[in-house]
Structures are given as C-alpha cells and as structure tokens.
Amino acid sequence: MISSLLLKVPSTVEPQPMRDALRAMRDVSLSGGLWLTCLAGITFGVVDVLAPLRLNKLAASAITISAAFLGAAAVEAAISPLVGRFADRLGRRRPALVSLAGSAVLAPLLPTVSKAAVLVALIVGGLWFAGTMFVPAAAMVSDGAERQGMAFGIGFGLTNLAWASGQGVAALGAGAIAQARPGLVPYLLLSMACAGTLLGVVVLKSGPERSRRRPPAKAGS
C-alpha cells in the first residue's frame, strides 16, 4: 500500500476512445474471453438463486445451504491455480472445454435430485466447473487486449461488466422463469448455452490458440 503511493504518476497518458475498445472486440480471443466470463456469471446467477430454494424444499437447514456454497468456493480456490498452469502449458482452449462440458452436464442435474445430501455434493463437487471458466477467459482477454493495443484496465473493466451483467440478468431471469415454468427450465437453458459455447469453441478451435502463440509484430513492420 505504501509502496504504491510512492510510485510516480506517468507524465502522459494516451486517451483510448471507447470506439477503439469496440473495434478490438472483433478479436476472437478478446470477445470469446468476455463471453466465457459472462457465461460463468450466468451460471452463478442461476445456481445462486435456484439451488438454495431447492435445498430448502428438500429440508436442508440454513447452515447446510451455507456450507454447500462455502465448500464449493473452497474447491474452486484450490483448483483454479491448477487450471491456470494447465492453460499456460497447453493453451486456453482445453481448460475452457473442460469447464463448459462440466457445466453443461451439471446444470440439468441440480434440479432433478431428490435428496439434499446429493444436491450438496453436486454443488461442492461440480460448481467449480463454472468458476474455473474465469481462468482461461481472463487469459484470453489479456491476450486479445495486448494484441489489439487495448489498455488492460479497459479490458478487465469490460470483464467485470460481462460478469456482472451475466449474473444480474440470469438471477432475475431464473427467478422469473422458475415462477412461471418448472424449475428445470432455467437449468436446461443454461445447459444449452454451455453446450452451444462448447460447440463453438470446438468449431473455432484454432482461434484462441493461434492468437496466443502468434509472435509479436516487429517494430516498423
């Protein structure tokens, strides 16, 4: 904290209009990373609203519900560094595929189990699939921002916006849909979104990987 106060402020800061940021969104890695971030937010928006209600319906106590999400957070915190190393060594695409496939399978299971203990086990043991989407997503945003000359502050500001928008809209939408339709519907929509994104990553498999491995342009070229 003290050392940061002693840092010199740059004498000149180049302004970066928003139109430049929007233009940079054409980069597959950047836009793909933002969508993965949004999808992770959507997943948590759906699960955070509907899973506690389901647990309560299955007679789980408030302590059990809290413990389920605390355990899920602990598992995610333990696994995320491993996923990060995996992404650095083998590329962004493979961990993204694992996260998307796991989330697509997990989503329709959550509203169908009939025992609270099983649902808690699914939340603790499976919610990390959605949480670890952030790892390859952040790396993809960083890659795309660097390649497009976008300030990293703007890139990760867009990341925060994607996460917050996905979670907020999904939480509101999941609650509204669950009131009008069976509770399985929001989860099925979520599973379809994850599966569709998984298919897109497979079809466009060369995009993020090629972007990550492209050598930097030489000065004057």
Query: Over the stretch 139-186, which tens digit does the pLDDT of each residue have?
Result: 888 888 888 777 777 878 888 889 999 999 999 988 888 777 777 899
CA 201 to chain centre: 14
Q: Which two tokens stand for residue 209?
A: 């990987």
Domain membership of residue 176 (yes or no) is yes
Domain membership of residue 162 (yes or no) is yes
Rounded to whole angstroms, the Cα distance separating 69 from 99 reads 18
Domain membership of residue 3 (yes or no) is no
pLDDT score for 151? 76
pLDDT score for 207? 44
Helix, strand, coil shares of the chain, percent, nearest 5, are: 80, 0, 20
CB 30 within 8 A of CB 141: yes
Q: Is the pTM of this model over 0.85?
A: no
Domain membership of residue 151 (yes or no) is yes
Residue at 89: amino acid letter: R
Cα torsion angle, 215, 216, 219, 221, sign: positive
**What single-letter DSSP state applies at residue 141?**
H
pLDDT score for 194? 95
**Residue for token pair 């509770």:** 183
* Below-70 pLDDT ranges, the chain: 1-22, 24, 205-221
Domain membership of residue 96 (yes or no) is yes
Q: What is the domain-level CATH number for residue 134? A: 1.20.1250.20
pLDDT score for 5? 57
Three-state SS letters, 65-107: HHHHHHHHHHHHHHHHHHHHHHHHHHCCHHHHHHHHHHHHHHH
Q: How many domains does the chain have?
A: 1
Domain membership of residue 201 (yes or no) is yes
Half-sphere CA count of 153, side-chain side, radius 13 A = 6
Domain membership of residue 221 (yes or no) is no
Residue 72 burial (10 A CB sphere; 0-12, 13-18, 19+): buried
**What single-letter DSSP state applies at residue 110?**
T
Ramachandran angles phi, psi of 206, nearest 5°? -80, -15
